[in-house]
Amino acid sequence: MNLLIKQAKIIDKHSDYHLKTMDIFIENGKIITIAKQINPAKPHKVIALKNLHVSTGWFDTSVCFGEPGFEERETLLHGLEVAAKSGFTAVAINPLTNPINDNKSGIRFLIDKAQNHLVKVYPFGALTQKSEGKELAELFDMQQAGAIAFTDYGKGIANANLLKLALQYTQNFDALVMDFPLDLSLSFDGQMHEGIQSTKNGFKGIPAMAEIVQIKRDLTLLSYTGGRLHLPNISCKRSVQLIKNAKKKGLNVTCSVAAHHLVLTDNALADFNTNYKVSPPLREATDVKALINGVLDGTIDMINSDHNPIDIENKKIEFAHALNGTIGLESFFGALNNIIDLETLIDAITSKPRACFRVESTSVKEHIIANLTLFNPEGTYKFEEKNILSTSKNALFLNKTLTGMVYGVINNGKIILN
């Protein structure tokens, strides 16, 4: 693949070409030259697009693709096509499958099936057997097979001693433990954030305290055991403060936030739209503001889509019976682009998650494999269901005008253009 990208503004804090508008020549999948003007002698394809920007390929650290067991929601390969369309060249896949991905064969299945795709797959293994929170899963074996971290996706570890053992045991092979920040005893049967809106809707609420108590406990355990802890998808103002203080004390803790928690509040549930039923739940405006500030000041290390396709039979039903989850890949950039400044946003979906999960780093530099996302941060479009590629359609922001268009992705010697 010989390719010339013309007059692209480079967004990469770790590149010498950051914020510069350059030509980029790619030969056989490798960046050969970056310069103001390039006129290669070899035959090549040219990409010249309006307001073209280029960054390192984006990495989404929380997606669910359903395979095996929930293929009607999204198969693995189709999910990777959705990710590529959305600007992502790498995804971390949660073990929300049937059976739960809690052993090395499940990890290898995902890696082997996706090995020739443009989008790189990084599996998460379940932290406990069947994600039941009773006994640790085969963590070392899964890491050797390619798992980059361990989580019981959507479930907090209720047993404090079990999490303590996980943090101690994983230090033997330097693995990352993830705990979903939700105390199940405080959130059981809750349908949405506990507040004025839950009272209006007549639903039992999930208090912010359910997250805060879990995070306080986890940080206390981490200070005792040492190890590496990641808290995914935090949603509360107080959570940001707790994690900021823990980092100042030197604890090895990182955290992420889902895109929808930076944009929406629980007021979105006023009309009982089940697409807005997510976990953790959408919180209040003060929480949203604190989360945005947490991204801006670096307390929150990364942003993910928390892409979780749910079939219509489990979503378009009575609110109390609908499953949590929303598809977030395709609306990700357009929803966030006016919320977080471009440089901070790109860093939170490129270099920072790769550093946290210790996967292969990359940059917009010469003489390395091209791993790039092409986009126009000022392009606008109407996000409509008819244009959604994902198999499931449980999307937020439907019929909204979003700002920020993805032109395409390049990785693994392949290119996909929208």
Reply yes or no on whether 306 is catalytic.
Answer: yes
Say which of 102, 266, 306, 347 is annotated catalytic. Answer: 306
Residue at 301: amino acid letter: D
**CA–CA separation, 41 and 55 (whole Å):** 26
Structural contact between residues 407 and 376, judged by C-beta atoms closer than 8 angstroms: yes
Tell which residue, 300, 230, 218, has the closest CA to residue 259.
300
Q: Which H/E stretch holds residue 332? A: helix 332-336
Residue 274 tokens read as: 């089940």
Sheet of 253-258, strand order? 58-63, 88-93, 120-125, 149-150, 176-178, 228-231, 253-258, 302-304
Structural contact between residues 47 and 409, judged by C-beta atoms closer than 8 angstroms: no
Taking every pair of Cα atoms in the chain, the longest distance, rounded to a whole number of angstroms, is 69
Tell which residue, 88, 96, 83, has the closest CA to residue 59.
88
Cα dihedral 194, 200, 201, 203 sign: positive
Residue 261 neighbours by CB under 8 Å, 6+ apart: 233, 234, 235, 280, 282, 283, 287, 288, 291
Tell which residue, 233, 229, 189, has the closest CA to residue 211.
233
Tell which residue, 323, 317, 240, 325, has the closest CA to residue 282.
325
**CA–CA separation, 343 and 101 (whole Å):** 35
Active site residues: 306
